[in-house]
Structure 1
Amino acid sequence: MPNADHAAHFRRLHAQGVLRIANAWDAGSARLIESLGAPAIATTSAGVAWSRGYADGDQLPVEQLFAVAAEIARVVRVPLSMDVEGGYSDDPDTVAGHVVRLAELGVVGINLEDGAAAPDLLCAKIARIKQALAARGLDVYINARTDVYLRGLAPPERRVEAVLERAAQYRDAGTDGLFVPGVTEAGAIRAIAAGTPLPLNVMLRPSLPPLDELEALGVRRLSAGSDLAEAVFAHVGRLAGAFLQDGRAADAPRASYGEINALFGTR
């Protein structure tokens, strides 16, 4: 069910410091991440899609998205944000309906991306979402993701400018935050953070500056993206491969049955 306290708290988490989001992909990973002290849970669209047997990239049936949201909301007690890719539709009214349904399930944040589409489309989606939520007294933090860096939508020398142009449009439409995956250079991060009042979210990359520097540069949120899900797939692949080859348990770190089972006991 909607939780106004969670919504307000999730907004406050973007006000100072760097909110670290270790993106989950199902109820089990979300509960594990919460147990490690995460102040909020957000999903990775790639991990969610893979865990349900679909490719990433708006391939997930939207009913599967609602199912994942309900499953995670049942087991965690911290604010929950869902990656909704492009909203699983090009129709702003349809996207708004999806977000309202997520909010009614207890979701208090979304990531919504522009992808390769014109910025006007994301603006229309954001505005319609805000209208639909306000009409129902619901609050969802919209984190507008621009793929200028991730998809190379502008030449390198124009990317900061292009991001800030889109950020201004998305802010006017009503977004609450700005997500710029793919940006890693300190000067670019500083310029983007200084050029918009929106809380800036960047995504984990090996070449990204360290956490304390990111905070000084103006970053307010750091997302792991699909990194954890990718690592889990690789780890399970190694373990299963070793087992299938010689029927033995591979020598690798693992939690005990009891430790895992205890995460899902009565809360």
Structure 2
Amino acid sequence: MHDRSAILLLPNAWDAGSARLFAHRGFAAIATTSAGMAWSLGHADGERAPLAEVLAAIERITRIVDLPVTADIETGYGETPAEVAATVRAVIAAGAVGINLEDGVPGHGALRPCAIAAARVRAARAAATEAGVPIVINARVDSWLQQDAAKPAERFDDAVQRAHAYLAAGADGIYPIGLSDGATLAALVQAIDAPINVAAGPGVPDLAELARLGIARVSTATRFAAMALAAVDHAAGVLLESGRFDCLASALTYADAQGLFERT
């Protein structure tokens, strides 16, 4: 699905229900969202959801869909490459066949030095090889999330250097999260011979334009989870203000939801 012949469109699920809905809609594969999953488990994003709870949620998703699932494991839930490797083994055991791995520190802090971040990717690849599961490692490059004074050219060059190091360490694709400028994406495609992932959202070029630019993969990140919360929040506010129940009308009925989980 990452051969760059067509864009892979990945919706990010946060629980078994959202994953089953995406599968029902006909997506070819499913990703998870660390933030949406953490919120559904009662925690903030940034590796504050206990790994055991995250693994259980991933296992529920892989059980309920007959599709490839790639798991957002943030920075790998570990300070050392060995700990990242242990996380990857556990994620594979939960049924995932891909991971997102960030090069920042938990909570979207400063970037790790390139060599250290690459060592973590190398450990993830070694763990997958040992498990006999050739997972897709989508290495996230957080250069465009940093609020430092780096000039655009410096940020770009740093991202390219990191991408090459991560690919050499065993990554399959690069995820420059926070980057949506078409010209910069096109330059990145030319500079990196690997699938590039873009986060979907308002203001991001549409699929046709991203395909023209050479983007291989688009994921929805936290968008669907936040939209679901927003819809409930709006209806709850209307209910409290009006005392009327019209706001509880839904195009998806109980029977529809129930049907998503009934198996023949």
Q: What TM-score range do you get, normalising by the shorter chain?
A: over 0.9
Deviates more, 1:79-88 or 1:151-160: 151-160
Alignment map for 1:8-157 (pairs within 5 Å): 12-115=1-104, 116=110, 117-152=112-147, 154-157=150-153
> Contact 2:2 / 2:195 at 8 angstroms: preserved in 1?
no
When normalised by structure 2's length, the TM-score is 0.92
Q: Secondary structure at the match of 2:263?
A: coil
User: What is the distance in 2 between the residues matched to 1:131 and 1:251?
Assistant: 50
Question: How many pairs does the alignment contain?
Answer: 256
Deviation digits for residues 202-228 of structure 1 (CA, Å, limit 9, x no counterpart):
111322212111111110001111011
Q: State the Cα distance separating 1:13 from its structure 2 match.
A: 4.2
Q: State the Cα distance separating 1:14 from its structure 2 match.
A: 4.4
User: What is the distance in 2 between the residues matched to 1:90 and 1:16?
Assistant: 37
Picking from 162, 178, 185, the partner of 2:181 is 185
Correspondence for 2:158: 162
Deviates more, 1:216-225 or 1:15-24: 15-24
Cα RMSD between the aligned structures?
A: 1.5
* Letter paired with 1:77: D
Correspondence for 2:192: 196
> Contact 1:14 / 1:221 at 8 angstroms: preserved in 2?
no
* Letter paired with 2:27: A
Deviation digits for residues 105-149 of structure 1 (CA, Å, limit 9, x no counterpart):
210000000122222222111111211221231221100001111
List runs of 5+ in structure 1 lacking aligned partners: 1-11
Q: State the Cα distance separating 1:171 from its structure 2 match.
A: 0.8
Q: Secondary structure at the match of 2:142?
A: coil
When normalised by structure 1's length, the TM-score is 0.91
Seen in structure 2, the aligned counterparts of structure 1 residues 253 and 151 have a Cα distance that, compared at 3 Å, is farther
Seen in structure 2, the aligned counterparts of structure 1 residues 14 and 243 have a Cα distance that, compared at 3 Å, is farther
Q: State the Cα distance separating 1:15 from its structure 2 match.
A: 3.1
User: What is the distance in 2 between the residues matched to 1:210 and 1:232?
Assistant: 22
List runs of 5+ in structure 2 lacking aligned partners: 105-109
Indicate yes or no: 2:261 matched with 1:264: yes
Correspondence for 2:252: 255
